[in-house]
């Protein structure tokens, strides 16, 4: 009898412990809801995108059939359009993104609040995974309230009129002092301008010394000796002769008569000589310079140089005779 009683007690103890032992519930699935605006402030009548994003476990199924603009009340905002997008988020998560196009015509406030609304979902965990969608109870998670700044060209009624502000008093010193300083500045500028003009008009101009008659005669005589020593046979001698003759005549006229003969043609030099009363020099100078240019710059210059050498030397002699007087 004692062994039977012992076995009965042990069975009673095991049954009691089994009834008292707690039943472990499956871990609840989690869902994270975030909101985002494409702009933080709007003007009255602007449209903007309001995005609600829910990241959840694969066992959660978000109900999207009721997310329609006629079912969603987000006053004071008007729902223009709703689009829903679902997909994978990482390795073991899913996401549901609800993009809502909103607008508002409210005014007179600094900011508005987009009201909260529920997102319904089914948790397919444990025994509910095998149950049909119509028999399992739907749960909900609230979308947080979101603030958006409001900009308006309409002023609120409680703002003070601009006419109520104090007017800045303009006293006599406040306008007399700037006028006096401005006139003083103009007077200083005028004095400086007159001073510069007076200094410029009385500045001594450098006087270029002209060669004396004896110096000019010596210059012509030395040049005539130099040209006679230049050869006649080679083309290089011809180029050297006519080049030195042209340079000497132009330099002599520039020094003696103050004619810028370096940049003038033979015809222009002839006109300038006549204007200075040097009619005797105009003809021989023109003939010599024209022939020098043809010899130096024409294709037949070498041949012409040999033919004109004596005539040019004769014209130089006439020039030397006239330059002595």
Q: What is the mean pLDDT of each run of 10 residues along the chain (325 residues)?
A: 52 50 46 91 90 91 88 90 90 91 88 90 67 67 91 60 62 86 93 90 65 75 80 81 83 76 79 78 81 83 80 79 69
The pLDDT score that the predictor gives to residue 3 is 52
Are residues 134 and 242 part of one domain?
A: no
Are residues 146 and 227 part of one domain?
A: no
Contact 221, 323 (CB under 8 A): no
The pLDDT score that the predictor gives to residue 207 is 57
The pLDDT score that the predictor gives to residue 80 is 92
Are residues 147 and 35 part of one domain?
A: yes
| Three-point CA angle 201, 205, 209, nearest 5° | 160
The last residue of one of the domains, among 129, 151, 173, is: 151
The pLDDT score that the predictor gives to residue 27 is 42
Enumerate residues 6+ apart whose C-beta is below 8 A from 51: 35, 36, 37, 38, 97, 98, 99, 100
Total count of domains within the chain: 2
The last residue of one of the domains, among 112, 128, 151, is: 151
Residue 120 lies in a domain: yes
The last residue of one of the domains, among 135, 151, 167, is: 151
Residue 56 lies in a domain: yes
Instruction: Give the domain range for residue 85.
Output: 31-151
Are residues 113 and 221 part of one domain?
A: no
pTM listed for this prediction = 0.40
The pLDDT score that the predictor gives to residue 52 is 94
Are residues 138 and 38 part of one domain?
A: yes
Are residues 37 and 147 part of one domain?
A: yes
Q: Which of 319, 290, 317 is nearest to 225 (CA)?
A: 317
């Amino acid at each position: 009898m004692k062994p039977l009683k012992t076995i009965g007690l042990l069975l009673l103890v095991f049954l009691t412990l089994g009834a008292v032992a707690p039943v472990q519930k499956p871990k609840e699935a989690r869902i994270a809801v975030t909101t985002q605006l494409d702009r933080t402030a709007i003007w009255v009548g602007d449209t903007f995108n309001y995005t609600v994003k829910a990241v959840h476990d694969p066992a959660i199924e978000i109900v999207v059939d009721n997310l329609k603009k006629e079912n969603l009340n987000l006053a004071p905002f008007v729902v223009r359009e709703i689009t829903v997008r679902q997909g994978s988020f990482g390795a073991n998560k899913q996401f549901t993104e609800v993009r809502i196009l909103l607008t508002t015509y409210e005014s007179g406030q600094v900011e508005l609040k987009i009201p909260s609304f529920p997102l319904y979902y089914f948790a397919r965990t444990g025994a509910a995974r095998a149950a049909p969608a119509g028999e399992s109870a739907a749960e909900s998670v609230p979308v947080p309230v979101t603030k958006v700044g409001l900009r308006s060209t309409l002023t609120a009624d409680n703002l003070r009129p601009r006419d109520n502000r104090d007017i800045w008093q303009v006293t006599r010193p406040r306008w007399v002092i700037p006028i006096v300083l401005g006139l003083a500045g103009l007077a200083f500028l005028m004095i400086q301008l007159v001073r510069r003009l007076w200094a410029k008009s009385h500045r001594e101009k450098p006087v270029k010394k002209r060669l004396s008659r004896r110096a000019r005669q010596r210059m012509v005589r030395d040049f005539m000796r130099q040209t006679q020593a230049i050869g006649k046979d080679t083309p290089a001698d011809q180029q050297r002769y006519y080049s030195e003759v042209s340079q000497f005549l132009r330099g002599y006229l520039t020094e003696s008569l103050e004619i810028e003969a370096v940049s003038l043609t033979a015809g222009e030099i002839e006109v300038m000589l006549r204007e200075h009363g040097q009619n005797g020099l105009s003809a021989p100078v023109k003939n010599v310079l024209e022939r020098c240019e043809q010899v130096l710059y024409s294709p037949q210059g070498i041949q012409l140089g040999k033919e004109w050498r004596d005539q040019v030397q004769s014209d130089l002699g006439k020039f030397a005779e006239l330059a002595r007087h």
